[in-house]
Amino acid sequence: MKTAVMTDTNSGISIQEGRENNIFIIPMPVIIDGKDYLEEVNLSHEMLYQALNQNREISTSQPSPEVLLEKWNQILADGYDEIVYIPMTSSLSSSCTTAAGLAADYNNKVQVVDNRRISLTLLNSVYDAKYLADTGMNAQQIKHILEENTYMNDIYITLHSLKRIVKTGRITSAGAAIATVLGIKPILKIQGGKLDAFAKARGMKNCETIMIDAVRKDLSEKYAGIPKEKLTVCTAGTFEKSEDANAWVQKVQEAFPDFKIQYRPLSCSIACHIGTNTQGIAIDCIER
């Protein structure tokens, strides 16, 4: 069986990186002031960050059924026997549910994975799927393995500004104003696709310490006994300055010297909801 692996740009895998690794990537739609854009096609991170800082009207959408069907049909016509499609978690978007409904007409040739991942952890799942496909596993086997490990990942993220989250209605404008004056920043946790408040602290340095300590605790408890080569610790964010991203990576690297720490910019469709200069850290259990 020749098995294709496909995801969307919420994974943090660029279209070019996908081509280089034989992974098929769907660009996520972003709407700015009523105009439709596609990440990496006609929207860059720099363009989005500028729009965010200008407080323009920004929202996101899911890939249309027509786009998915066209891509699946093209992949199958190009010689692949089946497809493993890994979209972002169904807990944060309806794109996974939509895809699963469309896949029902493909006689099991398209397996939609819902292992509740996004960003760094979704990226790891995609590369795990590619590794498993290259070792001879079929799409159904890959789906089973990925979904079996749904909860073996944790993401911690700190918002630099509350401006975007106010627009989502998750916090009142008055509450955000008080928090901003006091320098209080929320630390959120994503686990199993569910976004929850984790902690709050005054100043980004304190938030960084809390996030690092949380991962250190996870390593000693939840992931105890798992070989280090089967774990990954990585960073992400919406930094506008590369030196800020590098400083965050360096701090995490010093905290976890046994891991090779890498940084990925969060996708445009994620950045729409959390704003610029947000930073995060993730721990994940991998197959490869």
- Give per-residue pLDDT as tens, 108-134: 999 999 998 889 999 999 999 999 999
Percent of residues, the chain, with pLDDT higher than 70: 91
Give the C-alpha distances (Å, rounded to integers) separating 39 from 31, 133, 184, 191. Answer: 10, 27, 31, 25
Q: Whose CA is closest to 91, among 195, 167, 189? A: 195
The average confidence (pLDDT) of the chain is 90
Residue type, 147: E
Percent of residues, the chain, with pLDDT higher than 90: 73
Map out the domains of the chain as residue ranges: 3-27+63-148, 153-285
| pLDDT tops 50 at residue 178 | no
**Tokens at 285, concatenated:** 């259990």
Q: Look up the CATH architecture of domain 3-27+63-148.
A: 3-Layer(aba) Sandwich (3.40)
- Distance between CA 288 and CA 132 in Å, rounded? 8
Does domain 153-285 sit in CATH 3.30.1180.10? Answer: yes
| pLDDT tops 90 at residue 239 | yes
Strand partners, 82: 3
- Distance between CA 126 and CA 284 in Å, rounded? 13
| pLDDT tops 90 at residue 174 | no
| pLDDT (average), residues 26-34 | 95
Q: What pLDDT score does 193 carry?
A: 66
| pLDDT (average), residues 35-62 | 94
- Distance between CA 40 and CA 242 in Å, rounded? 19
- Distance between CA 93 and CA 26 in Å, rounded? 15
